Amino acid sequence: MEGFSLLNKAFDSRVRLGLMSILSVNDWISYKEVKNLLDLTDGNLASHVQALEKINFLEIKKQFIGKKPLTTYRITPIGKNAFKDHISGLEKLINK
Amino acid sequence: MENSKPEKDIGLIKDLMEKSSKFSNLSGIAVIATGFLAIVGASLIYFDIGISISEIHISYAELINQTANPDSLLIKLKLLVSIASLILSSSLILLYVTAKIKSGKQGIKLFNSTFSRTLKSLFVPIFSGGIFCLFLLYHQMYGLVAPATLIFYGLGLVSASKYSYYELEFLGFFELVLGILSSYYMGSGLLFWIIGFGLGHIIFGLFIHFKYDQQ
């Protein structure tokens, strides 16, 4: 089964899959926006973000806007390729 | 990986890509209000008016055929341009403020990349069209101003629809068709304007309101 080999274990979780979908079509995007788009509660997102950062699929930027901390994320080229492969894997499975 | 459901996953991916990359913070009510503003403005100009806002009585037909005293024409023209700019700027402010409130409620920054892409695709045609219209005024081709605003606005909407509500495309084509028609029926330019900017926005606003804002 060719499709399976393209699938990436990193995207098993729906949160990570959703997170990557959002990052793949955006430039730097804030924690709050991602949280709202995925309909998550605080803290839920952080562990998934860290897991994806560990394998270099996304980068994190922390900065201050005035006194407010602002965390933003962006997909890396490695992450983008992995995600593309994952999508083609899914498509192959559907069209088998 | 046995329990992954490819169809569902693809569905989720598509859904999130669309939601996160499209500007969808327009307030339907505000769009409806801009429609009414446009109708009020255009009627003031068209009927010049029972409520006479200027001492000079020149009909739209006289204006575009330039069959009146040149000095009066100029004053009239300035009045038209000021009414139009007033309507335009108040509509933009209204849309901006309501979009800001709406995105604040969703915890989203209004000025994200989606919003700037929407603005860019909308305003490149509109801005060039605006300059073009100023030259139409300069060359005294008054009759073509109303059709040109409809055409360029329509083009802007069609291109903005890629980054925003896809229904904007319908509104865009509607404005385009009206603009082209009114280029032929030049004397009725303002009526087409009322249909396009007034009625078009009211219908589109109602649509946005009931389809998206209610949720």
Q: Which of A13, A89, A4 is nearest to A51 (CA)?
A: A13
Least confident of A67-76, B81-90, B106-115: B106-115
CA–CA distance, A18 with A24 (Å, rounded to integer): 10
From chain B, the residues in CB contact with A9 under 8 A are 1
The pLDDT tens digits of the residues spanning B173-195 come to 999 999 999 999 988 888 899 99
Q: Of B152, B33, B21, whose CA–CA distance to B92 is shortest?
A: B33
Residues in chain A closer than 8 A to B107 (CB atoms): 32-33, 35-36
pLDDT value at B1 more than 70: no
Describe the crossing of helices B168-184 and B145-160 by its angle, rounded to 10 degrees. Answer: 160
- Asked whether residue B45 is assigned to any structural domain, the reply reads yes
Asked whether the predicted pLDDT for residue A70 surpasses 90, the reply is no
Domains in chain A: boundaries: 2-94
The distance between the two most distant Cα atoms of chain A, rounded to a whole number of Å, is: 53
Instruction: Please give the angle made by the CA atoms of B28, B127 and B114, to the nearest 5 degrees.
Output: 50
How many angstroms separate the Cα of B48 from the Cα of each of A9, A88, B60, B74?
A: 70, 62, 8, 15
- Region A76-92 average pLDDT: 91
pLDDT above 70 for A2? no
pLDDT for the residue B17: 87
Which residues have C-beta within 8 Å of that of residue B2, sequence separation ≥ 6? none
Q: How far apart are CA A21 and CA A90, in angstroms?
A: 14
In this predicted structure, the answer to whether residue B120 has a pLDDT above a threshold of 90 is yes
What whole-number distance in Å separates Cα of residue B107 and Cα of residue B98? 14
Comparing CB atoms, the residue among A3, A26, A91 nearest residue B21 is A26
Give the residue ranges of DSSP H helices in A1-94.
Answer: 2-6, 14-24, 31-38, 44-54, 77-94
Give the tens place of pLDDT for each residue, B135-163: 999 998 888 999 999 999 999 999 999 88
Closest residue on chain B to A96 (Cα): B6
pLDDT of residue A1: 56
User: Cα–Cα distance between B152 and B130 in angstroms, integer?
Assistant: 8
ipTM for the predicted complex: 0.85
CATH of A2-94, picked from 3.40.640.10, 3.40.50.20, 3.30.1240.10, 1.10.10.10, is 1.10.10.10
The dihedral over CA atoms of B136, B33, B119, B84, expressed in degrees to the nearest 10, equals 20
pLDDT at B2: 43
Tokens of B182: 């009114």
Substitution target from A25, A84, A87 for chain B, most B beta carbons within 10 A: A25
Nearest C-alpha of chain A: how many angstroms from B206? 25
The whole domain housing B69 covers 25-205
Query: Any idea what DSSP says for residue B144?
Result: G
For residue B111, the model assigns a pLDDT of: 78
CA distance B84 to B120: 22
Determine, yes or no, domain membership for B9. Answer: no
Return the higher-pLDDT residue of B28 and B24.
Answer: B28
Q: How far is CA A92 from CA A19, A88, B14, in A?
A: 22, 6, 16
**What is the reported pLDDT for B50?**
41
B155 CA: distance to closest CA in chain A (Å): 24
Q: Give a yes or no: residue B18 inside a domain.
A: no
Alpha-carbon span B91 to B126, nearest angstrom: 15
Best of A5, A33, A39 to mutate (most B CBs within 10 Å, chain B): A33
Contact B114 A26 (CB under 8 A): yes
**Percent of chain A whose pLDDT exceeds 70:** 97
CB atoms within 10 A of CB B34: 22
State how beta strands A58-65 and A29-30 pair.
Answer: unpaired
* B73 falls within a domain: yes
Nearest CA in chain B to A31: B108
Report the gap between the CA of A26 and the closest CA in chain B (Å). Answer: 7
Chain B residue with CA closest to A16: the answer is B13
List chain A residues with CB under 8 Å of B114: 26
**How many domains would you assign to chain B?**
1
Contact across the interface for A90 and B9, Cβ inside 8 Å: yes
**Residue B95: its pLDDT value, please?**
92
Mean pLDDT for A17-22 is 92
Candidate from B16, B107, B108 with C-beta closest to A18: B16
Strand partners, A65: A68
Percent of chain B with pLDDT over 90: 47
This prediction has a pTM of 0.75
Q: Does A32 touch chain B (CB under 8 A)?
A: yes
Q: Are the Cβ atoms of B107 and A36 closer than 8 angstroms?
A: yes
Chain A residues closer than 8 Å to B109 by CB: 30, 32-33
C-alpha A42/C-alpha A75 separation (Å) is 21
Nearest CA in chain B to A3: B6
- Between chain A and chain B, the number of residue pairs with CB atoms below 8 A apart is 68
Q: What is the mean pLDDT of residues B14-25?
A: 83
DSSP 3-state of A67: coil
